[in-house]
Structure 1
Amino acid sequence: MNVSRNSCNLRFCSKVFTSFTIAGKKKGVTYNRFSNHYYSSKTPKVSEWIEPSGNRTGIYIYNSLTKQKNELVLPRGNHLSWYICGPTVYDSSHIGHASNYVRYDIIRRVFLDFFNINVSYLMGVTDIDDKIIVRANELGQDFTAITNHYEREFFQEMLALNILQPTMTSRVSDYVPEIIAFVQKIMEKGHGYVGKDGSVYFDVVEYGNYYKFASPQQLFKSDVEVKKNPADFALWKAAKPGEPFWDSPWGPGRPGWHIECSAMASRVFGSTIDLHSGGLDLMFPHHENEIAQSCSYHGVKQWANYWLHTGFLFTPQESEKMSKSLKNTISTSSLLSKYTSNQFRMFCMLTHYRNNIEFTEEKMQKAISLDNKIGSFLRQCDAYVKGQVVGGDISEAETMNMLAENYERVMGHLKDDFHTPLAMDAIFNLISVLNQKFKESDTVCRCPGVIAAVEVHVKRICKKLGFLKKGWKMSEDSDNMKLREVLDHTVRFRYNVRQYSIKTKLPESVTASLPAGMEKKIRKELFTPLLQQCDSLRTQLKNCYINIQDLKTSSTWDFDDSKDMREDSDWDSDSSGTPMDKQTTQETQSSEHGTSKEPISKEIMHDTQCGKTEEFEREMSTESPSIHDTQNRDYKISEEPTGRHTHDGQTTESEKLEQSLNVEDTCRKDTEKVDSKVLKEATESVSKRTTS
């Protein structure tokens, strides 16, 4: 049920509202005759929040259920179960989505890396929805083609923002049997009924324990002709012509929007979830309805213990939130064509996650300036430690005390409802104090050891909060070191095959009896397929953003950073204090992971899992078999044809063969030995086909 955007001002309720009893309906329904909306005037008894028992973490979260900060208590030791409402995949993501998921990524990293809490992070993806069906009909495509494309694109863009992969991803289309069983149980308890339109609805009044987030005077769109009560919401929608459907006890249909998240989260986590989150716009009616139907199904008074909601992102020209349905969006790909993921993450961190964010060029420039300030400071620290900076009145005892106090301040702010603006303010205060000391001319009191400690402290904080720096993850992640080794072996093998195909000559015993020009035809017949496979491998690796460069004496590989280059974040410097190489316009999980750095393309939907975070790999190892991770989905991937390809001006292997065939044979003695019997048979076969 949609909340009326022009919710009537209740100051005029004496003139606007008329109370009456609808025939055949329950009493206590009030009608707004101007907006044609109903609302319930009955106030049901709402149960109090139940604090869980278990591990008291000392972290205080603003709980939307209680509308105050509550200490996070985990019933299962150090494990946190977290469900987050994911995208409805009918269009490209926009910066409103980006800000939402970056903010939750920061909170997730705080749990993982600052407080060592094991997080099971389940994201629900809506791939059955009215908007998806409309979009599919507009384009004349099957709805799964639409959802596959935009889901792939969404996860690519989340990787580009350096957002950790979900531990698990659940899609509505994979959970229809569970959803049907979920609805059946609710109906058995008397909290559901079949409406006049054939759809199944949740009976809010019969259930009673409603209005966790909304007021009982909340307005509802009028469709009482098919429902018992205005606030009742669809659990199962009857099929309409031209829509996808599934068979059910109530006839063909599809899941309602709200039931999807409840069924998927319950299938994974059971009757209790530690944390549930989403945007502020989902609080009502979506999360309100989730609570009602989940508590009804499980027979519990409290389903999710804590609820988090992020504020909206909007532009100065728009007073409402950024939304695809409102057509006031800026795409994520456009954002990343102008700014780096570090810069946008800094922008998000400067506003508390519960507050709305105004997206302006001025605020982005502030974020860029602060990002650069960190880089400048780290280079200064590095130069000081190496003795390249002569001045600096640094007191070891004073600086160590300041460092300890800074750490406590940062941790304290993060414990207090993840207050990143104050945490970053503490870091920048430390930087400002030490920058001032670097300017002082006293060369007697030098303490490079303590400055090295400060440098490590700032770097670790930035890394834990999700800021990218080249070289960190690859050097510290054993799985990625294995990836490098695998790529080394793969490229070396390809090089050997290539050299064998180009340089191998036929034995003189075979070529002596051949007509002029036949040797070239035989060699081309034998070795062109091998060289085409070398071309194909190079193309496939390029699609994973791994470039192969063929040199005279070897072949090398590197991760693609050749397109849309920009200056990297200033603090992203190497050990010598010099700026790192330029970084692409679209940041990824890490440059070493081999993920895309090119602008996301709708036409080329490559596997988003070319690069995965250590966290995602670790958590996926314990995944339930019923959960579908983002790798196990089948996608239509356009394949490049084998044969001649040119990549960045490189000559293909088959072209090189043609060139080599036109060069005089001057290196017979250095060629590798080949089985003459096999070559002779191949020669005879080619000769027969040529003669015929």
Structure 2
Amino acid sequence: MIKNFTVFKRKLSHVCNLKPYKDTKWLMPNGNPTGLFVYNCVADQKVPVILSDPHIATWYSCGPTVYDSAHIGHASCYVKLDIVQRILKSFFNIKLVTAMGVTDIDDKIIKRGKETNTNFKSIAQQYEYEFWLDMANLNVEKPSIIARVSDHILSIEQFIKKIIDSDMAYVTPDGSVYFNTAKFPSYGKLQKMQDCGEPLSVLKRNKMDFALWKGPKPGEPSWPVSWGEGRPGWHIECSAMVSKLFGSQLDFHAGGVDLQFPHHENEEAQSCAFHNTLQWANYWIHVGHLSVKGDSKMSKSLKNTISIPELLDKYSADTFRMACLMSNYRYPMEYSDQMMQTAEETLKKFKFFLKDVYVYVNNNALQNGVYKDKLLDDLQNVEYQNLKFLKSDFDTASCINNLLSLMSNTNNIIKEKNGEYYPVPIILIADYVTTVLMKFGVTLKENTEDSVSNSIIDTLVDFRHTVRLNALTRKDKELLNACDIVRDKMKMIEVQINDSNKTASWVFTK
């Protein structure tokens, strides 16, 4: 624990070259520095992650509005957030208490219910079940707490009532409640704007005011409250549920970049008003859009979506996660077969390397194993650099490039014709590569049916390798052609063979 934290903050501000508070409107929290830096939209720069307890943090993600199936635009957001959470937990030993809100009361859900003549609750339950199934298939860890709006109506009512009583919100004749943005001077700090919002209506006092509660409408679900009846507005739901779970201060608040305004802006405003504080969420994590070529983003309204089952029919969850790892979580990602094939090839490089290491260590070499300090130095340097990258706003792309470079250098040694035998450093490198990938949530599992036995493939690949080496020695083109035919036929059943002078290895391509 740092004794003079005020002095520390002055020094840290100088070292980080942080902009003055009057410009950023971001307040550096009191507590314990973790050594991490994360981009914060309020400060518009990377800021130090400081926690009350250096090993415990609270995290809230805005979850789905369950009126339809999720698509891969949603998948990219949740996979990237899953990666960030895993980094905090696995690389920096932070115990995250995670919560996700599920909007199961909404205009779109009610509309879908009317269209299909189905109760809105059934619609919500159906698509929520589907959502969690999709997340499991993508290896996205379930949050510690799932907060459904329908379970928190009383908390939402109490939250709104306190804001009304503090004169920061007002009730309109139709039973709706609006937040009075004119009484909240910091409104707009997340988006750096002050002149947007919904059109001015006869019910709203200011253009920027937003609904905390919607008055009742015929044929739609509503709940009785102290000022009348109706149902919650979208923004208030997250604030009330988070406050119930985590109190007046939240460490991390996450979602897609499209939620920055108005959703997160409104959450911050109403939560600060409720808790009478200047800053509610200390760190905003916003994920860039996934787009398809020619479109700004993937969305149902543009009719350019790809469902998660459709994605997983074509590519593995590991391949999609690798694509996410190879991009910065904050920036847009353009989905294409080329992008996915690049991710797939990268994943195969890792799998080939790990197979090659296994064969190398278990070969029939006559020489005794020796150390190679250069290999161990390379490993130590990559470990240091990767930790540095992750501390700087979760830079997974640089980590992946580092691992590929380390593998390439190690492969050169593995495939030396008459080189010395270095089992210990090469095993340590393979263990490190495996550990990092698994900490990122890459399973490295072979995604295929059990109809093809691995042992049979091993035998076939070894036999082909022996035949191929003999054919190379004798320059037998006919036999080499036969080996190529075997390789191509194996590829047709999603088994790719990697030839080398010493050994041969193989991986499933899906």
TM-score, normalisation: structure 2: 0.82
Alignment deviations for residues 564-589 of structure 1 (CA, whole Å, 9 cap, x no partner) = x9858999xxxx99768x79x7xxxx
1:183-332 paired onto structure 2 within 5 Å = 183-318=160-295, 320-332=296-308
State the SS of the aligned residue for 2:251.
strand
| Amino acid aligned to 1:458 | V
- The whole-number CA distance in structure 1 between the counterparts of 2:402 and 2:254 is 27
**RMSD between aligned residues:** 2.5
State the SS of the aligned residue for 1:221.
coil
Aligned match for 2:33, one of 44, 52, 56: 56
Match of 2:462 in 1: none
- The whole-number CA distance in structure 1 between the counterparts of 2:37 and 2:135 is 27
- The whole-number CA distance in structure 2 between the counterparts of 1:180 and 1:325 is 32
- The whole-number CA distance in structure 2 between the counterparts of 1:138 and 1:338 is 32
Match of 1:417 in 2: 393
User: 1:450 aligned to 2:425?
Assistant: yes
Aligned match for 1:398, one of 370, 374, 379: 374
> What is the deviation of 1:52?
1.1
State the SS of the aligned residue for 1:60.
strand
Match of 1:435 in 2: 411
Match of 2:484 in 1: none
Assess, with a 3 A threshold, how the Cα gap between structure 1 residues 161 and 398 changes in structure 2: closer, same or farther.
Answer: same
State the SS of the aligned residue for 1:371.
helix
- The whole-number CA distance in structure 2 between the counterparts of 1:176 and 1:258 is 13
Alignment deviations for residues 331-389 of structure 1 (CA, whole Å, 9 cap, x no partner) = 11111111100000001111100000000111110000000000111111111111257
> What is the deviation of 1:455?
1.1
> What is the deviation of 1:104?
0.5
- The whole-number CA distance in structure 2 between the counterparts of 1:372 and 1:416 is 27
Q: What number of residue pairs does the alignment pair up? A: 440
Instruction: Give the number of the structure whose residues are more often helix, by fraction.
Output: 2
- The whole-number CA distance in structure 1 between the counterparts of 2:330 and 2:435 is 25
State the SS of the aligned residue for 2:224.
coil
Q: Report sequence identity in percent.
A: 43
| Amino acid aligned to 1:231 | M
Alignment deviations for residues 244-281 of structure 1 (CA, whole Å, 9 cap, x no partner) = 11001222200000000000000000000011011000
Alignment deviations for residues 175-216 of structure 1 (CA, whole Å, 9 cap, x no partner) = 000000000000000001012432110000023331112344
User: 1:370 aligned to 2:335?
Assistant: no
User: 1:465 aligned to 2:440?
Assistant: yes
Match of 2:359 in 1: 383
Match of 1:115 in 2: 92
Give the conservation status (yes or no) of the 8 Å contact 2:253–2:284: yes
Give the conservation status (yes or no) of the 8 Å contact 1:88–1:129: yes
Alignment deviations for residues 75-134 of structure 1 (CA, whole Å, 9 cap, x no partner) = 123101001100000000000000000000000110111111100010001011111111
State the SS of the aligned residue for 2:43.
coil
Q: Which runs of 5+ in 2 are unaligned?
A: 1-21, 447-491
Alignment deviations for residues 562-616 of structure 1 (CA, whole Å, 9 cap, x no partner) = xxx9858999xxxx99768x79x7xxxxxxxxxxxxxxxxxxxxxxxxxxxxxxx
Match of 2:69 in 1: 92
> What is the deviation of 1:438?
2.2
| Amino acid aligned to 1:310 | V
Match of 2:317 in 1: 341
Structure 1 window deviating more from structure 2 (392-401 vs 61-70): it is 392-401
Match of 1:479 in 2: none
- The whole-number CA distance in structure 2 between the counterparts of 1:370 and 1:68 is 31
| Amino acid aligned to 2:137 | A
Looking at CA atoms only, which structure, 1 or 2, has the larger radius of gyration? 1
State the SS of the aligned residue for 2:223.
coil
Give the conservation status (yes or no) of the 8 Å contact 1:201–1:227: yes
1:527-542 paired onto structure 2 within 5 Å = none
Assess, with a 3 A threshold, how the Cα gap between structure 1 residues 448 and 47 changes in structure 2: closer, same or farther.
Answer: closer
State the SS of the aligned residue for 1:128.
coil
| Amino acid aligned to 1:424 | I
State the SS of the aligned residue for 1:368.
helix
Aligned match for 1:152, one of 113, 121, 129: 129
| Amino acid aligned to 1:168 | I
Aligned match for 2:152, one of 158, 175, 181: 175
Alignment deviations for residues 152-195 of structure 1 (CA, whole Å, 9 cap, x no partner) = 00000000000111111100000000000000000000001012
| Amino acid aligned to 2:203 | V
- The whole-number CA distance in structure 2 between the counterparts of 1:293 and 1:352 is 31
Give the conservation status (yes or no) of the 8 Å contact 1:132–1:147: yes
> What is the deviation of 1:439?
2.6
Assess, with a 3 A threshold, how the Cα gap between structure 1 residues 462 and 577 changes in structure 2: closer, same or farther.
Answer: farther
Give the conservation status (yes or no) of the 8 Å contact 2:66–2:104: yes
| Amino acid aligned to 2:88 | F
> What is the deviation of 1:224?
2.6
Assess, with a 3 A threshold, how the Cα gap between structure 1 residues 140 and 164 changes in structure 2: closer, same or farther.
Answer: same
Give the conservation status (yes or no) of the 8 Å contact 2:24–2:43: no
Q: Which runs of 5+ in 1 are unaligned?
A: 1-44, 472-564, 586-692
Match of 2:102 in 1: 125
TM-score, normalisation: structure 1: 0.61
| Amino acid aligned to 2:433 | V
Assess, with a 3 A threshold, how the Cα gap between structure 1 residues 340 and 189 changes in structure 2: closer, same or farther.
Answer: same
Assess, with a 3 A threshold, how the Cα gap between structure 1 residues 55 and 370 changes in structure 2: closer, same or farther.
Answer: same
Give the conservation status (yes or no) of the 8 Å contact 1:280–1:310: yes
State the SS of the aligned residue for 1:169.
strand
Assess, with a 3 A threshold, how the Cα gap between structure 1 residues 389 and 54 changes in structure 2: closer, same or farther.
Answer: farther
Assess, with a 3 A threshold, how the Cα gap between structure 1 residues 236 and 112 changes in structure 2: closer, same or farther.
Answer: same
State the SS of the aligned residue for 1:235.
strand
State the SS of the aligned residue for 1:212.
coil
Structure 1 window deviating more from structure 2 (80-89 vs 68-77): it is 68-77
- The whole-number CA distance in structure 1 between the counterparts of 2:432 and 2:53 is 31
1:129-140 paired onto structure 2 within 5 Å = 129-140=106-117
